[in-house]
């Protein structure tokens, strides 16, 4: 029987990389401060000593450059992991990801694969400023050729990262900086977790809350508060955004007849809008109320701590939104 341990989110990510680098000598890590500094958030702690500077490579502050190096290496048969210090900085490498990584397999008629993982912290943290607080998932989830994953728990972080490293396509892994220290049960010998499989992390019957990454924890906290008022909500953790598990979403909405989508990014053109569209198209006949979204306010993230928290979805705002639907105050 597999032993189960309590690991922090960052430790789970590190284990996934170490195990896959032990398993396959083509896997290597490339990014700013991943080596001698042990990683900006200590995700790669100890990996330089274990694998050496040829496989744990510190780079200059040049995201477009080292993203391009990684893509070229992937086309030549290696399996790079590219760490962005924050996904905000991936904007500098957007051309590489959009026009090279996501398209090379199609444009070469399948002559080149691009088995590369881009990973790093996404969204807000605590007072890191507007230029370090953008939730970038909606940019990347729109792009054919990319797979986009956003785990909420350590076990999923490890299992999904292992699957990403083994995938022959480019994968975007979005990690919340606020989750790096969160602990959770992770079994030994964990196998890769299949993409496109959401999970119901709290069963319920009154309404479906759909969330991912950090917002899954916000949704669960809101569900606990709502339960004290007799409102039993179901919480779905998507785990992956592209591919999206429509089946689990639709089955839940067919049961609860109401839906709220909680995501940290902006609402205009965001992931929540895409999910809401699919719910209304695929489960319209079962809906008894409008689909509502809870998202970041439509502003750049303030530095002030109080204003920052006011911008980000909080359990109280989720509870208020749920009650609007449950009590039909729309």
Which of the residues are catalytic?
A: 63, 132
Q: Rounded to the nearest 10 degrees, how much is the dihedral formed by the CA atoms of 135, 249, 259, 137?
A: 10
Peptide bond before 243: cis, by omega within 30 degrees of 0?
yes
For 202-228, b where at least 16 C-beta lie within 10 A, e where not — what string? Answer: bebebbbbbbbbbbbbbbbebbeebee
Q: List own/partner pairs for 22-26 with CB under 8 A and 24 or more apart.
A: 24/79, 24/165, 26/77, 26/78, 26/79
3-state secondary structure 259-291: EEEEEEEECCCCHHHHHHHHHHHHCHHHCCCCC
Tally of CA atoms within 13 A in the half-sphere of 84 that contains its CB: 30
Q: Which residues contact 139 (CB under 8 A, 6 or more apart)?
A: 94
């Amino acid at each position: 029987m597999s032993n189960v341990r309590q690991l922090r989110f960052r430790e789970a990510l590190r284990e996934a990389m170490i195990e896959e680098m032990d398993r396959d000598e083509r896997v290597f890590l490339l990014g700013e401060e991943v080596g001698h500094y042990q990683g900006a958030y200590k995700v790669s702690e100890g990996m330089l000593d274990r694998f050496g500077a040829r496989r744990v490579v510190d780079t200059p502050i040049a995201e477009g450059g080292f993203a391009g190096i990684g893509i070229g290496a992937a086309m030549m048969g290696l399996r790079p992991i590219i760490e962005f210090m924050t996904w905000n900085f991936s904007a500098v490498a957007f051309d590489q990801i959009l026009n090279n990584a996501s398209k090379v397999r199609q444009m070469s008629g399948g002559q080149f694969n691009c088995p590369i993982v881009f990973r790093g912290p996404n969204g807000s943290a605590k007072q890191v400023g507007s230029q370090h607080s953008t939730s970038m998932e909606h940019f990347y989830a729109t792009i054919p050729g990319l797979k986009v994953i956003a785990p909420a728990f350590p076990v999923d972080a490890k299992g999904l990262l292992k699957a990403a490293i083994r995938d022959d396509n480019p994968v975007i892994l979005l990690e919340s900086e606020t989750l790096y220290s969160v602990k959770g049960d992770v079994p030994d010998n964990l196998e890769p977790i299949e993409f496109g499989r959401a999970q119901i992390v709290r069963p319920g019957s009154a309404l479906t809350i759909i969330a991912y990454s950090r917002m899954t924890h916000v949704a669960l906290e809101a569900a606990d508060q709502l339960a004290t008022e007799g409102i039993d909500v179901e919480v779905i953790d998507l785990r992956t955004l592209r591919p999206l598990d429509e089946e689990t979403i639709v089955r839940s909405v067919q049961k609860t007849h109401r839906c709220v989508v909680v995501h940290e990014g902006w609402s205009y053109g965001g992931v929540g809008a895409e999910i809401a569209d699919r719910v209304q198209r695929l489960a319209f006949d079962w809906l008894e109320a409008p689909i509502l979204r809870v998202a970041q306010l439509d502003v750049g993230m303030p530095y002030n701590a109080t204003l920052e928290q006011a911008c980000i979805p909080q359990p109280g705002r989720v509870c208020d939104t749920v009650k609007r639907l449950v009590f039909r105050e729309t």
